[in-house]
Structure 1
Amino acid sequence: MIWTTQQRSDFGQLKAIIKGEGQNIVLLHGVGLRAEAWNAQINAFSQSYKVIAPDMPGHGESNLDAITLDLSSYTKKITEAISEPAIVMGHSMGAMIALDLAIHHPDKVKAVVALNAIFQRDKNAVNAVQKRAKSLDGKTVADPTGPLTRWFSDQESDAATACKEWLINVNPAGYRNAYTVFATENGPSPENLRKLAMPALFITGQNEPNSTPTMSERMAALTPKGQVMIIKDAAHMMPMTHMDEVNQALLSFIEEEVK
Structure 2
Amino acid sequence: MISKIQQLSNNRVAHYFEQGEGEPLVLIHGVGMQAAAWTPQIEYFSKYYRVISVDMPGHGQSTKLADDASLQDFVNWTIEFITALGLGAVNLAGHSMGSLITTGVSATRPDLVKRMAVLNGVYKRTPEAKDAVIQRAEELKTGHIDIETPLQRWFGDSEIEQQAARKVKSWLEDVDMSGYATAYSAFARGDAVYADQWSNIHCPALILTGTGDPNSTAEMAIQMASQAKNGKAVVIENERHMVNLTAPDKVNNAMQAWLETSV
Matching residue of 1:110: 114
> In the alignment, is residue 224 of structure 1 matched against residue 229 of structure 2?
yes
Choose which of 207, 218, 227 in structure 2 pairs with 1:202: 207
Assess, with a 3 A threshold, how the Cα gap between structure 1 residues 65 and 183 changes in structure 2: closer, same or farther: closer
Most deviating of 190-199 and 158-167: 190-199
Matching residue of 1:3: none
C-alpha separation in 2, matches of 1:67 and 1:257: 40
**Aligned length, in residue pairs:** 252
Q: Which amino acid aligns with 1:34?
A: Q
**How big is the shift at 1:68?**
4.3
**1:133-170: CA deviation from partner (whole Å, max 9, x where unpaired):** 111126x3612112111111466611100100110110
Q: Is the 8 A contact 2:25 2:51 kept in 1?
A: yes
Assess, with a 3 A threshold, how the Cα gap between structure 1 residues 115 and 187 changes in structure 2: closer, same or farther: farther
Q: Is the 8 A contact 1:20 1:46 kept in 2?
A: yes
TM-score by length of 1: 0.92
Matching residue of 2:178: 173
**1:33-69: CA deviation from partner (whole Å, max 9, x where unpaired):** 0011100000000001000000011111112145742
Assess, with a 3 A threshold, how the Cα gap between structure 1 residues 95 and 19 changes in structure 2: closer, same or farther: same
Matching residue of 2:169: 164
**1:167-224: CA deviation from partner (whole Å, max 9, x where unpaired):** 0110000110000011011245454111211111111001110000000000111111
Q: Is the 8 A contact 1:14 1:57 kept in 2?
A: yes
**How big is the shift at 1:16?**
0.1
C-alpha separation in 2, matches of 1:244 and 1:109: 24
Q: Which amino acid aligns with 1:130?
A: I
Q: Is the 8 A contact 2:106 2:116 kept in 1?
A: yes
Q: Is the 8 A contact 1:67 1:74 kept in 2?
A: no
Identity %: 37
Q: Which runs of no fewer than 5 residues in structure 1 stay unpaired?
A: 1-5
C-alpha separation in 2, matches of 1:131 and 1:154: 28
> In the alignment, is residue 147 of structure 1 matched against residue 147 of structure 2?
no
Matching residue of 2:37: 37
TM-score by length of 2: 0.91
C-alpha separation in 2, matches of 1:218 and 1:174: 31
**How big is the shift at 1:89?**
0.1
Q: Which runs of no fewer than 5 residues in structure 2 stay unpaired?
A: 8-12
